[in-house]
Amino acid sequence: MVSDLAFHVLLALGDGPSHGYAIGKDVETRSGGRLDPTTGALYQALRRLADDGLIAPAEAPGDADSRRKYFALTREGRRAAAKEA
């Protein structure tokens, strides 16, 4: 079982790799504004999800700012999101 924030992060990555700021905005939108994670809380959740093997660092898309850290779901992350849904 994952936290509400972690579940929304997994949902945000369901459409493909993304960076922290975009993930945070997606979480806020998908939760109807109920979740508005601070940068610290978001990156703590990302680190925990990575440690659990649910997300992994990803290559930035060709037209993206290479200074941003991108993340993608792993196979286990997809399973966890489906299970929570």
Q: What pLDDT tens digit does each residue of the chain (85 aa) get? A: 789 999 999 999 998 999 999 999 999 999 998 998 998 999 999 999 999 999 999 988 777 777 889 999 999 999 999 998 8
Residue 59 DSSP label? P
Residue 51 DSSP label? H
What's residue 81's pLDDT? 92
What's residue 71's pLDDT? 96
Determine contact, residues 17/56, Cβ cutoff 8 Å: no
Residue 63 DSSP label? T
What is the value of pTM for the model shown? Answer: 0.90
A 10 A CB-CB count for 66 gives 9
A 10 A CB-CB count for 41 gives 13
From the number of C-beta atoms within 10 Å of its C-beta (0-12, 13-18, 19+), residue 23 rates as buried
